[in-house]
């Protein structure tokens, strides 16, 4: 009987160890799918950088758009602000979904630079707010269009490449609208900044 008990104990021990190892293996498999925040193997650093910058800029566009809906004097600027909330909000959700699948951790709030711009704009009112907001939107969208165009051509990951290509026409449309609403002097200075940045 003593021998049988020893066999039962040993069998139980190996069963428990086996189940623990299987559970550990399963955890490892699920973490490699991005749930643990680990990036998919072979995922390009440039694609990651683009995703993080796009998320940062997209969140800022939504927050500044909400500010424009509240504070803008011109109905056209208010309408533009609402479009920023809608379009960038939708793009942000698509980007989050891709990031979740790839295991890329995106920023959860806009950067200090974008926060400083929001603080600056929130102190303005009326036409002064409209001009400053639209000048910022013009500058932002010139930069966004250039970045999304580059990523739509050179991204390594097909999902990221597709996201950039699908979002680009919307951003180009935003840029056209910003050009028509921004004060003329800001359009000149934004173009000068843009060409200086490309040198």
> Residues 139-184: pLDDT tens digits?
999 999 999 999 999 999 999 999 999 999 999 999 999 999 998 7
Contact 106, 158 (CB under 8 A): no
CA-closest candidate to residue 144, choices 177, 114, 174: 174
Boundaries of domain holding 157: 43-198
Cα gap 194→91, rounded to integer Å: 24
Task: Please indicate, yes or no, whether residues 57 and 138 belong to a single structural domain of this protein.
Answer: yes
- Pick left, alpha or beta for residue 42 (phi over 0 → left; psi -120 to 50 → alpha; otherwise beta): left
Residue 188's pLDDT is 44
Dump the DSSP string for 7-71. HHHHHHHHHHHHHHHHHHHHHHHHIIIIITSPPPTT--HHHHHHHHHHHHHHHHHHHHHHHHHHH
The pLDDT score that the predictor gives to residue 44 is 85
Q: Tell me: do 87 and 154 sit in the same domain.
A: yes
Looking at the structure of the chain, the number of domains it has is 2
pLDDT at 196 over 50: no
Q: Residue 174's closest CA among 95, 81, 71?
A: 81
For residues 113 and 77, state if they share a domain. Answer: yes
Is there a single domain that holds both residue 64 and residue 159? yes
pLDDT at 40: 56
Distance, CA of 140 to CA of 117 (rounded, Å) = 12
pLDDT in tens, 45-102: 999 999 999 999 999 999 999 999 999 999 999 999 999 999 999 999 999 999 999 9
Residues 152, 161: contact at Cβ < 8 Å? yes
Give the integer Cα–Cα distance in Å for 23 and 30: 11
- Kindly report which listed range (11-15, 34-38, 39-43, 111-115) carries the lowest average pLDDT score: 34-38
Task: Count Cβ atoms below 10 Å from residue 43 Cβ, excluding itself.
Answer: 18
Both 47 and 34 in a single domain? no
Residue 138 sits in a domain of what CATH number?
Answer: 1.20.1260.10
Burial zone of 152 (CB within 10 Å; 0-12 exposed, 13-18 middle, 19+ buried):
middle
Provide the pLDDT confidence category of residue 2 given band limits of 50, 70 and 90.
low
pLDDT, tens only, 36-45: 445 555 678 9
pLDDT at 183: 84
- Mean local confidence (pLDDT), 9-14: 50
Please check whether residues 4 and 68 belong to one and the same domain: no
118 band by pLDDT with thresholds 50, 70 and 90: very high
- Does 9 score more than 50 pLDDT? yes
């Amino acid at each position: 009987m003593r021998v049988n008990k020893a066999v039962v104990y040993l069998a139980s021990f190996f069963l428990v160890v086996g189940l623990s190892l299987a559970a550990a293996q399963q955890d490892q498999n699920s973490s490699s799918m991005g749930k643990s925040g680990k990036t998919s193997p072979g995922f390009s650093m440039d694609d990651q950088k683009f995703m993080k910058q796009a998320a940062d800029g997209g969140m800022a566009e939504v927050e500044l758009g909400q500010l424009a809906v509240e504070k803008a004097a011109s109905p056209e600027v208010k309408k533009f602000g609402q479009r920023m909330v809608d379009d960038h909000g939708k793009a942000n959700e698509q980007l989050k979904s891709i990031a979740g699948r790839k295991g890329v951790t995106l920023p959860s709030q806009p950067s200090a630079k974008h926060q400083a711009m929001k603080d600056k704009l929130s102190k303005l009112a009326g036409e002064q707010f409209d001009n400053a907001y639209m000048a910022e939107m013009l500058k932002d969208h010139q930069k966004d269009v250039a970045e999304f165009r580059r990523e739509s051509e050179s991204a390594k990951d097909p999902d990221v490449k597709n996201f950039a290509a699908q979002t680009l026409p919307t951003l180009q449309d935003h840029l056209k609208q910003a050009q028509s609403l921004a004060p003329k002097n800001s359009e000149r200075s934004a173009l000068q900044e843009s060409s200086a940045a490309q040198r």
